[in-house]
Structure formats: C-alpha cells, structure tokens
A and B are shown apart, each in its own frame.
Chain A
Amino acid sequence: MGPVSDRDTIDQAPTDEVVELPAKARLIRLVIGAAILALTLSGTVFGDDYAFPFGPPRMYATRADPDTPVSSTRVVALTDAGEEVPLSGGEVGLRRAEFEGQVPRLVDNPELLGLLAENYLINHPESVPLVAVAIIVRRLELRDGQPTGAYDDDVLVTYPLAAGSEDGA
C-alpha cells in the first residue's frame, strides 16, 4: 500500500461514528421524496403508461377471461411465394409488444408498415424480394383457462409494397 493519505486513515479502526445530515438537508430530502412519492401514487391511481416513469406498474394487470382466446400478434413481410419473413422479433428494431401497442395506429396508417420493409431490406440486402407486409393475430382457443390446442390466424391488415421495395428485381 502506498503512503497513507488523510482519506485512508478512515479505515484504521471500526468506528461507531455517525455522519449526520444538517436538519435543512434532511428536510429537503424529505420534501423531494414526498413529492416523488405523491407523483408515484397518483400515477398509479389516475395515470397510465403515458405518464412514465410514474405510470401504474400494470404488468399482467389486465384480467384475461378464461374462455377468451389468447392473442399473439406478429408482423411479417410476405415473399412472392407467400412465405412469411418475421419482422416483429427484433428484425427491424421493434419488439412484439411494441408492435402490439401500435396496432390500432398501424391499421389506420398501413403505409407505416412499408417503412419496415425498406428498413429490413437495408439491413438484409440478401433477402428475397418482398411483396407485402402484414399484421397477423393468432388466437389460441381457451376453455376454462386451459388451451385446447386450436387456433385461428387473423390477418388484420396487409400493405402491398411498391415494386421499388422489391430491390428492383
């Protein structure tokens, strides 16, 4: 160990010393803490996710009905052969849950889906030509909360791509 500085002397012996805060510093901390607490509580009682970081921690807070199918959304690009190229597994920088949060907006503005195909082709130049992008919801049937194994695929929206997105092929 090098030369002992003033700072190092603090470990010379276990100490019972308490570093106190001045009353004013304690008060400031309590007031700011109370304000953050109030925002947090009111965010959960009245707010929503828009109020981040004070929104309600609503993970899995929605009640899922035991007889209503479980939905799972995917966004895919379609090739000429009708094959699906997944886009909602992180391929274009968005997660499945993020797509699910924007589904209503994407159904209203399907041209936004075209941007994804462009993005995908830039990152995957080796890709086969794409002809469309679609949002598909798979509904897995439940009975009394138990999956029956049956499911339906429902295409919410399909956006045909202009020839330009097909890599000029």
Chain B
Amino acid sequence: MSRVRSVTGWFFAPVALARVAVFRLIAYLFIPIDVFVTTRWVAAHAGVPTEYYQPLLIGEWLRLPTPSTAVVDVVKWLLIGSALLAATGRAPRIWGTTTFLLYFEWMVIAMSYGKVDHDRYAFLVALAVLPTVGIAQWRDQRRSQAAGFAVAVIFLAIMLTYFLAAWAKIRFGGWDWVNGSTLTRAVLRRGTDLSMWTLDVPGLLHVSQYLMIGFELLSPLMLLARRDRARIALVIFLLGFHLMVFAGVRIIFLPHVVAILFLLPWERLRRVRPGPAGRLDAGGDVIPRTDDRAGAVS
C-alpha cells in the first residue's frame, strides 16, 4: 500500500505552474524552428512522388491521407498556426491538443519514406501531456499535481529513450554489439573534423561502445534525481552527451534535447528576476522548491 502511494507520489509530486508556462513556450516555439530550420527535410516530402510513400502501421490504421504536395503544405501551415496559438498560453487544452495531433501527423509524413528517426519520442510525449496541465501563468508559483504529472511522464520518456536504445542494441545487434564497429561505421559515414581523429586511436571507439551501452542500461537510475540541483546536474550531463555526439557525427536529437529542458526548475528564475512590475518578491527565497515536500501528496 505504501509502495503504491510512493509510486503515485512520484507521478504527482507537485511542480510549480510557472515551470509549465516557461517550458510550454519553449516547446511550442521550437515547432516552427523544427519545421523551417532543423528538420526541413520533412517539408521537402511535399515534392516527393507519392509512389515513394511507405505508410506506417498508424497511417494505415487511421487511414491517414497519402502525403501529396497539398496535404503536406496544409498540415505544415495548420501546425505552425496551432503551435503559435498554443505558445500564447491561452486555451492551452484546445491549442495544445490540436498542436499535438498536427505534429503527430507531421511526424507520420516525416517517417513514412523508408527511414524512421528516433529522436523525438520524449518530445511527442511532452506535446501529448502539456495540454493536460491546463492554464499555467508565468508568475503562478503555486505547485500543481497536474504539472507534476507532466514532468514525471516526460522524465520517464526521456529515460526510456536511452534505456530502450540499449535494449534495441541487444535485440538487434546481439550481446556482441559492443565488440562491433558500429561507431567506426558512424564516424566513417558522418564524421566531422572533430571526430575523424578517433578512427586513428586504436580501441577508443570500441571502449566508447561499452561506455555508451553502460550508460543506457543504467539510465533508469536517473529517475532517482529528485532534488532540483541533482536534476540540473543531470540536464547538464545529458546536454553534454548530445553536444559531443553532435560534434562527432552531426546528430543532435534536438527535439529530445528540448524535452530534457522540462527537467529544469524554470520557476526558480523568479528568484533572481522580479516581476515586470518591478515589485521585488520580498520573500523570494521562500518560493517553495519543487523538492521540498516532494513526496507530499494527500
């Protein structure tokens, strides 16, 4: 019984609504960046002959339309409009839901041409769960169980991206994956000036494969990070990992990185920056931290 309570306590450990307000802005404003800058190849599918469309299970099951030029362009502009409306924070359940559905369809358009990417599971989970928080104001320091649930499931999705990657390596590559030359192959195919030297250091990429799968298998431990400071350290570590990979093979997992930002205690920015009215929060230091009474659930 107490174990059940501690699990639900973890999922509903209250988090300041201000954090949701900040993260929501980041996540929804990232969508136009994703569409127009960092993942431009999705929109390029508008010009691909529809004979190259290879529907996914979900596309067949929901009978989603074949992405003709018109379908891709309409989904794109609806998505951009919806994301910008959602970024305002008004009617968050409506615009958050439409944004999630349109982004999901955008991803179906992205992944239905012979290659599925795995860089945005946590971001999709974030878009799915954000509308469930409802209204969240920038200055609302009240902590909310709904916000806590959003943080918890996004945290879980981030962790699973690593842990299940290890599982997939063992499933597809076998236990001997670590002794293969997967990283050598990656650097040969996608290497940069910052990584080509690794090919000349015998054993380096081999050892890196052990470190990588070791980290991925141990990733569930990251859920133990509950205090703000521990989570900040975790975020720095994860961002460092992704930056290193990016420097080496130009793969950044950017939507996943955006989801990671939800682990940061954005609500604490209010301590150093008083409100626009210039009113100092005299008791700034007593703004409750997420980790105070983290397990306190009625």
- List residues of chain A with CB under 8 Å of any chain B CB: 1, 7-8, 10-11, 13-21, 25-26, 29-30, 33, 36-37, 40-41, 44-45, 49-53, 55-66, 70, 72, 90, 92-95, 97-102, 105, 112, 115-116, 119, 123, 140, 142, 145-147
Contact A95 B115, CB 8 Å, known A14-B284, A50-B56, A62-B173 = yes
Stretch of B25-33, B76-84, B132-140, B226-234 with 4 or more beta carbons under 8 angstroms from chain A: B132-140
Nearest neighbor of B152 in chain A, beta-carbon distance:
A33
Return the CB mask of B146-160 against A: 1 if under 8 Å, else 0.
100100010010001
Q: Is the CB of B51 within 8 A of A112?
A: yes
Quote the shortest CB–CB distance from A17 to chain B (angstroms): 5
Q: Is the CB of B45 within 8 A of A147?
A: no
Q: Is B189's CB under 8 angstroms from A26's CB?
A: no
Secondary structure class of chain B's binding surface, majority of residues: helix
Count, A-B residue pairs, CB within 8 A = 220
Residues of A within 8 A of B71 (CB): none
Given contacts A19-B142, A70-B185, contact A58 B47 (CB under 8 A): no
Known: A13-B283, A64-B180. A115 touches B114 (CB 8 A): no
Interface size on B, residues (CB 8 A): 84
Interface of A is mostly: mixed
Known: A18-B144, A145-B205, A147-B184. A61 touches B169 (CB 8 A): yes
What CA separation (Å) do A49 and B111 show in the bound complex?
Answer: 9
| Interfacial chain B residues near A142, Cβ < 8 Å | 181, 184
Known: A1-B276, A63-B182, A115-B51. A52 touches B116 (CB 8 A): yes
